[in-house]
Structure 1
């Protein structure tokens, strides 16, 4: 392989790792409190609130059920508002975060239930 090709691959690996870690971090920052909120508002728990629990649980389930490619396209306008572009490294982080947060929230809730 030529040197420019190696640097292109190195850049691609770097961008992939950056997207993974940054979106994972923000997904955790959003998902952890949502998961704890799901746990404490569950019927029979500390702050039992059936309406709030059902609402948050429905939102989490809806976002978990959307295929990522559809979520990616659906979030283009929202991504433009947040980062100013719909392509590139920064633009990919927004839908990755929104896609990861509901899964993390449900994992946190299930971990607290055990």
Structure 2
């Protein structure tokens, strides 16, 4: 391998981490409330609203059914409006976030539904309001599972970021295509794959560690 590629590999790794971490932040900020609404507005939820629950469910299902590469291209005008361009690392954050929100919303919903109903009933008997139960009971009790859900989401975003590299988003995916595919430099392709595997393993181990510590509290 040409050692001159090392700075490009380092920059591509940083770009990938930036895309994934920023989009993860926005995903949590929107996806967690979405999960709360999906649980809370259900028929047996804390604030049942049948119509809203059905509308949210349809929106989430549509968002999850779209292949990422199609979504990436379809929302290019929106991406261009938000960040001023449809190419590059900043531009990739928009479709990554849009793709991850419905996914994480469902993950958060599943985590919140796993909370023991007896704990919720006990909070109600103590006079807690619905939103107090959400903040002080539901989310804290589901937090270890939510952390694991965030871990899964980050790993999915790593895969999406590699796909985004196909349309000039930057990062390891873009580097693998430009050098490994277009220039037939197989060693660069292998290195980018190894780096992605290391990132996935590291993120999974960290997520498991945090979830275990929260469970033991």
The question of a shared fold, defined as TM-score above 0.5 by the shorter chain, is answered with yes
Question: Which digits, 9 at most, give the CA deviation of each residue in 1:82-104, with x for residues without a partner?
Answer: 00000000000000000011111
- Cα displacement (A) at 1:44: 1.3
Structure 2 equivalent of residue 12 of structure 1 = 12
SS across alignment from 2:85: coil
Q: Distance in 2 between matches of 1:110 and 1:54?
A: 16
Question: Which digits, 9 at most, give the CA deviation of each residue in 1:52-93, with x for residues without a partner?
Answer: 000001000100010000000011000011000000000000
Query: After the TM superposition, which residues 92-107 of structure 1 pair with which residues of structure 2 at under 5 Å, given as runs?
Result: 92-107=92-107
SS across alignment from 1:42: coil
Structure 1 equivalent of residue 24 of structure 2 = 24
Q: Distance in 1 between matches of 2:34 and 2:3?
A: 46
Structure 2, unaligned runs of 5 or more: 115-217
Q: Distance in 1 between matches of 2:103 and 2:91?
A: 20
Q: Distance in 2 between matches of 1:67 and 1:3?
A: 36
Query: Is residue 110 from structure 1 mapped to residue 125 from structure 2 by the alignment?
Result: no
How many residue pairs match? The answer is 114
SS across alignment from 1:14: helix
Over the residues paired in the alignment, what is the CA RMSD in angstroms?
A: 0.9
SS across alignment from 1:104: helix
TM-score normalised by length of structure 1: 0.96
- Cα displacement (A) at 1:41: 0.2
Question: Which digits, 9 at most, give the CA deviation of each residue in 1:12-54, with x for residues without a partner?
Answer: 0110111111111111111011110111001111110110000
Query: Is residue 81 from structure 1 mapped to residue 81 from structure 2 by the alignment?
Result: yes
Query: After the TM superposition, which residues 38-77 of structure 1 pair with which residues of structure 2 at under 5 Å, given as runs?
Result: 38-77=38-77
Query: Is residue 35 from structure 1 mapped to residue 31 from structure 2 by the alignment?
Result: no
Greater RCO, CA 8 A, separation 6+: 1
TM-score normalised by length of structure 2: 0.51
* Higher CA-based Rg: 2
Q: Distance in 2 between matches of 1:4 and 1:43?
A: 60
